[in-house]
């Protein structure tokens, strides 16, 4: 089964929730994993089932990186705030590196997230 991780910095969390709502039918066919706070919002605001890791500041992004290294993820959507990221928010550089090493797509904005979801749908 296709497995996708969902992560968002604080500012774009509402955008990720809206993205999930608009793609809920497709995402419901996937195993979803998200960092703690993002996952909490997705569960509360959609009908999606989401496995939650730790929150980003507590290593949730590293847990998702480990899943990439273990071959347990097919893609990551990480909506980040490139202008106002807070010190407690996950850093994308380690995830970007591990995704590049293992050839796993990583979307960092809504446009690339659309392409990632479309690509996963076409790959099925």
Residue set of the binding site: 9, 13, 35-38, 55-56, 88
Radius of gyration (Cα) for the chain, nearest Å?
Answer: 13
Residue 27 φ then ψ, to 5°: -65, -30
Active site residue 15: no
Indicate the annotated binding residues for substrate.
9, 13, 35-38, 55-56, 88
Catalytic residue among 15, 29, 47, 61: 61
Active site residues: 61
């Amino acid at each position: 089964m296709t497995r996708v991780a969902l992560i968002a910095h604080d500012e774009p969390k509402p955008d990720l929730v809206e993205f999930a709502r608009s793609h809920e039918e497709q995402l419901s066919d996937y195993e979803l994993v998200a960092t703690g706070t993002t996952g909490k919002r997705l569960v509360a605001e959609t009908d999606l089932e989401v496995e939650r890791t730790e929150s980003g500041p507590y290593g949730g992004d590293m847990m998702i990186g480990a899943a990439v290294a273990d071959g347990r993820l097919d893609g990551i959507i990480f909506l980040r705030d490139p202008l106002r990221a807070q010190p407690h928010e996950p850093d994308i550089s380690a995830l970007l590196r591990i995704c590049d090493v293992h050839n796993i797509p990583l979307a960092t904005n809504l446009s690339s997230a659309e392409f990632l979801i479309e690509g996963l749908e076409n790959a099925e």
